[in-house]
Amino acid sequence: MGIGEVLRYLEGDNRKCIFCGRRRPDIIVESDGVGICRTCYEHYMRESVKDYYETDELVRRLFAPFLYTGRMRRALLDLKFNDCRAYAEPLGKLVAESLPPYYLYSDYDMLLPVPLHPKRLEERGFNQAELIARTISKYLGVPCCDDVLFRIRDTKRQMNLSRAQRHENVEGAFYADGKSVAGKRIMLIDDIYTAGATVRECAKELRGKGAAEVSAIVVCSNFMKNYNDASKIQIPIVK
Ligand SMILES: [Zn+2]
């Protein structure tokens, strides 16, 4: 325990960890009364995938450091459905700090959070992908833009749909401002990558409008374990 942690402990100023739920003096990534304790932070740093996935022409690279399981899954569900918007910043920091060095030296032009439909945005009050993107933006020094890519069709929740249905559900759901994206290298940001339908549909729209490259950073994927050897992972791709 460092002196700062001891002082906090004595002052009773113990913030809550978004993963283990305990109030602890050793919260090291914090915002708004919540954060990640040292034990959980070190656990996730050890567990994180250390490299990006090379995918295909549509989504060039995908960085998905964590598995959508256990406490990580719980934290993401709380963020979205239990109005725990303060969770977004610690999660964004955790992702940013697990980024491989490649990202610090690659010059992407903009980060684009996967947008919500205005109706969904009004219901929830915030777009979790945008909050996460704003944190990553600070780390990478790449601007986060929320006025470039829009969801023009209110789609069903992807959760209970089959892979084919997911693809159909988001088809044509996005609109990108061509002037802003033409010739640009774009990094999409989202919370979860499962079948990849949403990210790929955004990429299709962006590439269709002339984006030079689209890559993506997500907090979690549901890829199978053995993910320390990222190159061997078969990325599920929706054709
Ligand atoms: Zn913890």
| pLDDT at 239 > cutoff 50 | no
pTM: 0.87
Distances (CA, A) of 134 to 121, 131, 138, 149, 219: 17, 5, 7, 15, 13
pLDDT tens digits, 203-237:
999 999 999 999 999 999 987 544 444 444 445 44
* CA 28 – ligand 1 centroid, Å: 10
* CA 40 – ligand 1 centroid, Å: 4
* CA 80 – ligand 1 centroid, Å: 19
- Fold of the domain built from segment(s) 49-232: Rossmann fold (3.40.50)
* CA 86 – ligand 1 centroid, Å: 15
* CA 37 – ligand 1 centroid, Å: 4
At 186, which helix (H) or strand (E)? strand 185-193
At 8 the pLDDT is 58
Residues of the chain with CATH 3.40.50.2020: 49-232
Torsion angle defined by CA atoms of residues 178, 180, 185 and 190, in that order, rounded to the nearest 10 degrees: -90
Place 25 in a pLDDT band, splitting at 50, 70 and 90. confident
Long-range contacts of 125-128 (CB under 8 A, 24+ apart): 125/83, 125/85, 126/85, 126/88, 128/76, 128/79, 128/80, 128/85, 128/88, 128/191
User: Which residues are within 8 A (CB) of 137 and not within 5 positions of it... i.e. 6 or more apart?
Assistant: 111, 143, 144
* CA 217 – ligand 1 centroid, Å: 23
Average pLDDT of the residues of the chain: 87
* CA 74 – ligand 1 centroid, Å: 13
* CA 59 – ligand 1 centroid, Å: 33
